[in-house]
Each structure stands twice: as structure tokens, then as C-alpha cells.
Amino acid sequence: MAASAKPKREKVRDTGQFSLPAFRPVQLATLVDSVPSGARWLHEIKYDGYRLELAVGGGEARAYTRSGLDWSEKFAAIAADAAKLKVGSALIDGEAVVADQNGRSSFQALQGALKGAPASIEYYAFDLLELDGEDLTGLPLTERKARLRRIIPTRGTRLHYSDHIEGSGEKLLHSFCDAGLEGVISKQATGRYIGSRSGGWLKTKCIKRQEFVVVGWTPSDKSRAFRSLMLGVHENGELRYAGKVGTGFSLDEIQRLMETMKPLEQNVATVKAPRADARGAHWLRPKLVAEIAFTEMTNDGTLRHPSYLGLREDKKPEAVVLETEAHVEAVAEPATSSIAISNRERVVFPESNITKGQLADYYAAVAGVMLPWIGSRPISLVRCPQGRAKKCFFQKHDAGSFGDMVKHLGIREKDGHEEPYLYLDTADGLLTCVQMGTIEFHGWGARIEDVEKADRLVFDLDPDEGLDFEAVRTAAFHFRDILKSIGLATFPMVTGGKGVHVIAPLTPQAEWPEVKDFAHRLAQAVAQSDPEHFTAALPKAQRKGRIFIDYLRNQRGATAVMPYSVRARPGAPVAAPITWKEMESIDKPSHFGIGSAAELVRRARFKTLSGWGRASQVLPDL
């Protein structure tokens, strides 16, 4: 591991003056075919466990999954040790693991520990996002890790600092593979922390393994309950057959799986499978996700030599897609995007002569601050291939015309069938959409890891024609105060249109019927308490002279314009986060435009918007 001086201990702080940090989207690693070379890369062990973000503050701690679910009860011992850290507050990224008898982290051992011996679970911290109220994500990785090292005790705790080496990554991978470890994570030494898949973190595996959806099981002619599990994976937004797995099960796990699968059985085939494989199959509703190791994928798309490792509760079946290796040279370069933009001189905004090239340059510039909000979230696009003055249309599904950079997520509709919704998690995905004529990006109020649980409330304050922005400003503060009175912290965003969004982030817990009902009742209550200025009525005839509280963004499948999205309006205005202090004096909802890219990035990365859009809170009783 990297040689370093004895860590300097941080001084003890008054924990009472710091609040608990909110969850932040985690940085994700891209799978590559070999370890990147060069001194600008740090290399760490790839742990075989559950990704956890630890929030510490005010003498308590919480543990969040990679999708923001609160799993503090599952990892109570780790959270208890984190609460004892000598810090005012901290937000730590790391992995919860259990070591087997050979000292290797084992996902199967972790699964067993969660069921019976949680005290054996350890936590390896590898990044520090916040410390004592200071946002560290803009600092180089080496500096973040140096601060992290100083706050993690060296003994007497389940928390450990995850060390690294500089350079020699390929040699490290070989030694890890020989030792039976999972692989190597390579990170740019000077890289900022970006809550998306940016190319700054890469992963190289010793053996192929990933999640698959359990779509059925085949019976055994011996004593055990099943012979094999039938597997599926999403491709182009549809669930397809990926083969069977019949090894890796203990007797206890077989019994547990049978009990878990029984209520999920259905009479119709979950996927189309070869007749020989489907003979005698017990089909299941696609609700379970299993971690599977395998040697390769055959030409017909099924697994060769698969082995079962355990069920994953931190990933939803809708988000399970086949992970393929990228060439390391293609993703390890520092460039923001490799997408070629054609027809750069085409005028997209005729009233201001703004071109497609300028629009693409804007999105390339803001990708790093936009992706944490739009990434890994079902999206809808406003596409204007011939410019905003010509025909524009909404698009939320795709049959593959966007290529590999824009992903598909199969989401079940009301009638039971799945539709391929769009999502992206890289700058290349963002620029691919722009190349295809996209101007606006709108997103669901939930992430792909669990589309049924909302991670925010959005109230769109939409003024009637003739009302000036002063009325909207006053309404926004009024709405903020009402939400604050029931325990919800909120953040404003000018939409680039006529109004303002008042946004209340949520820890993903409440499902859509509850969220929609809450939003509807709150909008009605506000409108009834001040009918002269507000209305929650849908007919436009009833909105005259008032501000419509658009609560309909808070239902399954509804979208709202995303932070930093350009609007298909004259002058190319931008939806932009602002502070409540700035709300007092900002001149109009279209204050920012695509010419503001550098300013928007600077605001997001430094203190202006520190903590914007993040709060640890759930729906209160209303």
C-alpha cells in the first residue's frame, strides 16, 4: 500500500453544532477490459459487499445504500461506530463487507451475517464527501483520502481506512486475482467526486459477475427443492432469458429461496426461453435479484458456468442490465465527452441565432454538475431536431435508436406490460441526446434503483397570464414557510419558464400513492387557506389571476424539468438552482441561459449552492 506518514489525528469537535449530512448520489465505476496505466491513477481493492454511505452528525449516524435507502437498522453496529467518530459531521463513502476464513471479502458471507451475525460486518471507507459542514467533493481524491485517513481510528472499531497504491495497477490486479479477490478499482488521483458514472473511476474484475433477475426455477428429481434458478436480464428495455444457475447453493439457502419464491409464482412465462430449458419451469414475477459469477456469455446470450452468490436487496430488478467491458483507452481519457456533434452550425434558437454546436458545448460544460441530478433516473426528452421554432415532441421510450450511451429501463405499466424508458449516467449519454436533437431534459421523482419510491417532492408554482414575477416570488416564500412548518426543508429552482419549483428532497421510503396523496392534500390546503392568490384546480378557467400549485409532478411516471436543463424557449434560458437568499432579488425565472455555463458550474462546485437539494427527511403526517 502507499507509504505515508503516521496519520495526524483530528482535534475533537463539538458534535452538537453540526447536523446530519444528507445522502448524496454516489460515484460509480465503469467496467473496463484492463487496468489503466500511468501515475495519475490510484488503485484500490474492489470489495465484495454492499456499497454504503455513512452520514455522521449531531452524535448520530445513518447508513444509506447506493440508491439512498436508509439501511441503518441492517448495519446498526457500523452506524454505532461511525457515530463515535471524533468529527462534527462527515459523509463517508465505502463498502460493508465480511471476510471469509482466508481474509477475503465474501458477498455470501455478508448475506449470512445480515441474517444471523451482523456484528461480524466491517466497513472499509474509501472516500470523504463532507467534513464538518464543508463540501469536499471539489477537492482532488488524494486530498479527500488524506482527510479521511485522519478521522478513521486505527483500532477498536469496525471502521477501516481503505488504502491504495499509486501506479503498477496491472501488477496489483494479477496479485489480487491470484489471491482469489474480486478485482481492482482505479481512480484518477486528482479527480473530483462526481455522483454519477464519469470515467474518473474504473473497475477491472478477476472474474465476471453481476446481478440477474430470477424469473423462475426448475424442479429437482432429487431431495432438494429445485434444480436451478432461471435468470433474466434487461436488454433494450425488455427482460430476456439469460440461462440457468444450478450451483452455489447451501441447503439453508435453498430452503430460504423456496420460501421467498413461493408467493411470486405465476402461471404465464416470465420470459421467452428455449423449450428444453422451460420444460417443467415454475415461473416467477420478476421481483428477485441474484448476484451470479460466470466465465462468459455465450453467443445466444446465456451464461456459461454460472454460480449463485446470493440475493441482492439493494438493487431493483428494473435496473438490472448486462454490464459489458469498455476498452480502457476509450473511457480513461480526461475529455468530458467523445460524442461527435453533427450540423454544429444549424440554428436551433432562431431569435438569438444560437446553434446546435453552442447547445452541445453548454451541456458538455455543465455535465459534471448536472449528472448527479439527472443520472440514473428515468427521463423524458423534448426533442426539436429542426430547432425550437419547428416541430418539437416529448420522448420517453426508445427502441434502440440512441445507441449504447443512452440506457433503457423496463418499467411495468398499468396494464402489466413493460415499456423501455430512457436513462443515462454519463456525459456521453447526455451529448448523445443533444446530437439527436434534444433541448430539454425532464426526470422522474425517483431513481432507477427503485422507481416506486420518490426521492423528492416538486411543487411547480405556475402563474396565470398577467401576473408578474413578484407574485411568484412572494408565493415561493409563502410555500417555503408552509412546508417548513410541517418539517420539510425546501430548495428553490428557477425553471427558465414562467415559474419556480419548490423542491423538498426525500429519503426514498414513501411510494407513489402516498406521495401523490400528500402533494394533492397540501396543495388543496394552501389554496383553501389563501384562495385569492393560489389555486389547485386543474381547469385553466379557474386559475385566473392566481398561481396554480402544480402538484401533479408527484405521481408515478410524471416528470419535472431537471436542474441545468436548457428550455426550448426564446433565448435558450436554463432551469437553475438558486438559494432562498437569491430568491429575494433574482429578476426573473429565465435569469440564466446557455451563456451562463461557466457561472453555473462555479456556483455548483463552490459555496454558493453548498448543500442545495439535499436533506435527510421523509414525508410528515399531514
Instruction: Give ∠ CA 401-214-196 in degrees, rounded to 5.
Output: 50
* CA trace torsion 485, 487, 492, 497 (10° rounding): -80
Cell of 354: 444560437
Distance of CA 462 to the CA centre of its chain: 29
The residues, any chain, with a CB within 8 Å of residue 117's CB and separated by 6 or more, are none
**CA-CA distance, 605 to 139, in Å (whole number)?**
10
**CA-CA distance, 410 to 418, in Å (whole number)?**
6
Looking at residue 9, what is its pLDDT?
38
Place of cell 484492463: 34
For the chain, residues classed under CATH 2.40.50.140 are: 209-328
Residue 587: other Cβ atoms inside 10 A = 9
**CA-CA distance, 522 to 457, in Å (whole number)?**
11
Cβ–Cβ under 8 Å, residues 104 and 71: no
Instruction: Map residue 262 onto helix, strand or coil.
Output: helix
**CA-CA distance, 304 to 138, in Å (whole number)?**
43
**CA-CA distance, 161 to 125, in Å (whole number)?**
5
**CA-CA distance, 269 to 248, in Å (whole number)?**
25
**CA-CA distance, 599 to 604, in Å (whole number)?**
9
Cβ–Cβ under 8 Å, residues 290 and 261: no
Q: H-helix or E-strand containing 258?
A: helix 251-261
Looking at residue 170, what is its pLDDT?
86
Looking at residue 3, what is its pLDDT?
39
**CA-CA distance, 439 to 310, in Å (whole number)?**
42
Query: Domain 209-328's class?
Result: mainly beta
For the chain, the maximum distance between any two Cα atoms, rounded to a whole number of angstroms, is 77
Pairing label, strands 438-443, 28-31: unpaired
**CA-CA distance, 59 to 391, in Å (whole number)?**
56
205 is catalytic: no
Cβ–Cβ under 8 Å, residues 44 and 187: yes
Cβ–Cβ under 8 Å, residues 46 and 185: yes
Looking at residue 501, what is its pLDDT?
96
> Closest by alpha carbon to 375, among 16, 26, 6?
26
> Counting every residue, how long is the chain?
622
> Closest by alpha carbon to 582, among 612, 560, 562?
612
Cβ–Cβ under 8 Å, residues 243 and 351: no
Instruction: Map residue 360 onto helix, strand or coil.
Output: helix
Cβ–Cβ under 8 Å, residues 550 and 460: yes
**CA-CA distance, 246 to 368, in Å (whole number)?**
43
| Phi, psi (degrees; rounded to nearest 5) at 70 | -85, 110
> Closest by alpha carbon to 189, among 240, 127, 239, 243?
127
Looking at residue 235, what is its pLDDT?
85
Which residues of the chain fall short of a pLDDT of 50?
A: 1-15, 334-335
**CA-CA distance, 381 to 403, in Å (whole number)?**
15
Cell of 209: 459477475
The residues, any chain, with a CB within 8 Å of residue 41's CB and separated by 6 or more, are 35, 166, 167, 169, 186, 187, 188, 189, 332
Cβ–Cβ under 8 Å, residues 446 and 453: yes
Tens digits of per-residue pLDDT, 560-586?
999 999 999 999 999 999 999 999 999
Domain 347-609 belongs in CATH node 3.90.920.10: yes
Which one-letter DSSP state was computed for residue 73? T
> Closest by alpha carbon to 170, among 162, 158, 178, 161?
178
| Phi, psi (degrees; rounded to nearest 5) at 540 | -65, -25
CATH superfamily of 28-205: DNA ligase/mRNA capping enzyme (3.30.470.30)
Instruction: Give ∠ CA 207-208-209 in degrees, rounded to 5.
Output: 115
Looking at residue 399, what is its pLDDT?
65
Distance of CA 174 to the CA centre of its chain: 31
* CA trace torsion 225, 228, 233, 238 (10° rounding): -70
Place of cell 421510503: 509
For the chain, residues classed under CATH 3.30.470.30 are: 28-205
| 82, burial (CB in 10 Å: exposed 0-12, middle 13-18, buried 19+) | buried
Catalytic residue among 6, 11, 46, 86: 46
pTM of the model: 0.82
Beta bridge partners of 165: 43
Place of cell 436533506: 615
